[in-house]
Amino acid sequence: MVSLRNLADRIHNTAKMKGFWKAPTMMDVYVAKICLIISEGVEIMEALRKDQGAQKVTEEFADLFIRALDVHHTLAQAGLADPNLELAIQSKMEKNDRRPVMHGHRWG
Ligand SMILES: [Mg+2]
Per-residue pLDDT of the chain (108 residues; tens, 9 = 90+): 899 999 999 999 999 999 999 999 999 999 999 999 999 999 999 999 999 999 999 999 999 999 999 999 999 999 999 999 999 999 999 999 999 999 999 999
Between the CA of 60 and the centroid of ligand 1 the distance, in Å, is: 5
Nearest Cα neighbor of 66 from 33, 88, 99 is: 33
Q: How far is the CA of 3 from the centre of ligand 1 (A)?
A: 38
- Could you tell me the distance, in angstroms and rounded to a whole number, from the CA of residue 71 to the centre of ligand 1? 15
Q: Cβ distance 33 to 71 under 8 Å?
A: yes
In whole angstroms, give the CA distance from residue 6 to residue 33: 32
pTM: 0.87
